[in-house]
Chains A and B, each alone.
Chain A
Amino acid sequence: MLNKRFIEILVGMFMLAGIIALFVLAFKVSGLNMYSSKGSYHVSAIFDNIGDLKVRAPVTIAGVRVGEVSDIGINATTFKATVGFRVDKNQDKLPADTTAKILTAGIIGANYIELIPGYDEVNLKDGDVIIDTQPAIILENLISQMIYKIGGDKKESN
């Protein structure tokens, strides 16, 4: 029979290992990072089409992650998508005429938002709306346009 203290220490280490495992799963595996309302500010952008963009998709400037998408909705009157995202507080020098576009990581990768800073003197602040945006490129639309074009060329040559 092991003595009681030894057992208690082992059980403590066991529980500790479980908590460490949970943290590893949270931060290393699922990449949980908080762009909480404290350390970030909320900006929204209006897109014609958001493609496959999801909540928690990254927001980048020049490819560097600076925030994440926090909410996605549709405007009931204009039928355009409104995407809200949180940007890191350190990035508070973004000009007000910054534009946003939705890009795809690789051919079958996930969508993300890329911010392209403009030249305005005024800075983007909490609650601002970006109107100058580029929608996601939908692969099916591109292909159908291409097929249409090829078909058109053939008719002309005939």
Chain B
Amino acid sequence: MILWIENLGRIGLSFCQSVGVSGLFLSRTVFRKPRLIRLFPLVIEQIYAVGVLSMVIIVLSGLFIGMVLALQGYNILERFGAVEQLGQLVALSVVRELGPVIGGLLFAGRAGSSLTAEIGLMQVTEQLTSMEMMAVDPLWRVISPRFWAGVISMPVLIAIFCMVAMFGSYLVGVEWLGVDAGQFWSNMQASVNFRIDVVNGLIKGLVFGIVVTWIAVYQGYYAVPTAAGIGRATTKTVVYGSLAILGLDFILTSVMLGGW
């Protein structure tokens, strides 16, 4: 019994410790002497790796999610004779929830895991240590550009995801199933509010971007420097990142619907 309590205590302590370490890690990455001119090219390079290369998966999944939502929505709305509300249904569900959440999950799988693996391998091959030997701070040279690139890319990817999903639902709803195009757009425009729906969706995207990239670089930086360790760190990034997105989504949604 006492052993069980002891184990519980150890788990709790190590959890608090890792939260503290990752918090310090983040603050050391973010709050430092601004050397923007030298940081900028590095960030550009990382936006290419994190954002541009994620475009394919984001665009494709956005397209298919829009198309599937239109199909499903049409089938149900048809029973009530309200197919002209299809645009509203798809727009609200994509912009408010599906865009940020699915975009975030894909981002954690595509970009987060590769960030972790890359930094973890740098750790294993002692590239980070040798940077320190050359008086180059690896937090500044390696972690910081990757973090900022993730934070910048995420809302952009979410916006693209939502736009493509709208296009996909237009294709299925209007071009294929024959919903009137004017009603499709006007019902959508009447119900979607820019401030409440679109901006809040992008705020979600920004928060998810911060959290996922933070988890990814932290897991990579503190990965156990073995082959198995990197594998575990990559898995942890995807698992923790996805759970964090889903949990935070609930909190953010309740705050946003609560009249904020």
Residues of A within 8 A of B190 (CB): 31, 58, 110
Residues of B within 8 A of A8 (CB): 44
User: Is the pair B194, A32 in contact by a Cβ cutoff of 8 Å?
Assistant: yes
Residues of A within 8 A of B156 (CB): 14-15, 17-18, 21
Closest to B160 in A: A21
**A56-B238 Cα distance, complex, nearest whole Å:** 41
Interface centre among B45, B153, B160, B162 (most CB of A within 10 A): B160
Cβ of A93 under 8 Å from chain B: no
Cβ of B188 under 8 Å from chain A: yes
User: Is the pair A31, B192 in contact by a Cβ cutoff of 8 Å?
Assistant: yes
User: Is the pair B55, A29 in contact by a Cβ cutoff of 8 Å?
Assistant: no
Cβ of B91 under 8 Å from chain A: yes
Residues of B within 8 A of A28 (CB): 166, 185, 189
Cβ of B47 under 8 Å from chain A: yes
Shortest CB–CB separation between residue B168 and chain A, in angstroms?
13
Q: Main SS of chain A's interface residues?
A: helix
Cβ of A158 under 8 Å from chain B: no
Interface centre among A7, A17, A110 (most CB of B within 10 A): A17
Number of residues on chain A facing chain B (CB within 8 A):
24
User: Is the pair A10, B48 in contact by a Cβ cutoff of 8 Å?
Assistant: yes
Within 8 A of B (CB), among A1-47: 4, 7-8, 10-11, 13-15, 17-18, 20-22, 24-26, 28-32
Residues of B within 8 A of A17 (CB): 55, 156, 160
Shortest CB–CB separation between residue B149 and chain A, in angstroms?
9
User: Is the pair A7, B48 in contact by a Cβ cutoff of 8 Å?
Assistant: yes
Within 8 A of A (CB), among B114-159: 153, 155-157, 159
User: Is the pair A29, B44 in contact by a Cβ cutoff of 8 Å?
Assistant: no
Contact partner, A21, options B41, B163, B185, B194, Cβ 8 Å? B163
Interface string of A78-91 (1 = CB under 8 A from B): 00000000000000
User: Is the pair B95, A56 in contact by a Cβ cutoff of 8 Å?
Assistant: no
User: Is the pair A30, B166 in contact by a Cβ cutoff of 8 Å?
Assistant: no
Interface string of B178-219 (1 = CB under 8 A from A): 000000011011111110011000100000000000000000
User: Is the pair B52, A29 in contact by a Cβ cutoff of 8 Å?
Assistant: no
Residues of B within 8 A of A15 (CB): 47, 156
Cβ of B241 under 8 Å from chain A: no
User: Is the pair A18, B189 in contact by a Cβ cutoff of 8 Å?
Assistant: no
**A13-B160 Cα distance, complex, nearest whole Å:** 12
Interface centre among A13, A14, A31, A58 (most CB of B within 10 A): A14
Given A7-B45, A8-B44, A31-B190, CB of A14 within 8 Å of CB of B55: yes
Cβ of B51 under 8 Å from chain A: yes
Within 8 A of B (CB), among A47-99: 56, 58
User: Is the pair B160, A18 in contact by a Cβ cutoff of 8 Å?
Assistant: yes
Contact partner, B166, options A18, A24, A110, Cβ 8 Å? A24
Within 8 A of B (CB), among A107-142: 110
Contact partner, B52, options A4, A14, A24, A26, Cβ 8 Å? A14
Closest to A22 in B: B159
Residues of A within 8 A of B166 (CB): 24-25, 28-29
Contact partner, B95, options A4, A18, A29, A110, Cβ 8 Å? A29
Told that A14-B156, A21-B159 touch, could you supply 10 new A-B pairs with CB distance under 8 A? A7-B48, A10-B48, A15-B47, A15-B156, A17-B160, A24-B163, A28-B166, A29-B162, A29-B188, A30-B189
Q: Which residues of B contact A (CB under 8 A)?
A: 41, 44-45, 47-48, 51-52, 55, 91, 95, 153, 155-157, 159-160, 162-163, 166, 185-186, 188-194, 197-198, 202
12 A-B pairs (CB sep. < 8 Å):
A11-B48, A15-B47, A21-B159, A21-B163, A22-B159, A28-B166, A28-B185, A28-B189, A29-B95, A29-B188, A30-B192, A30-B198
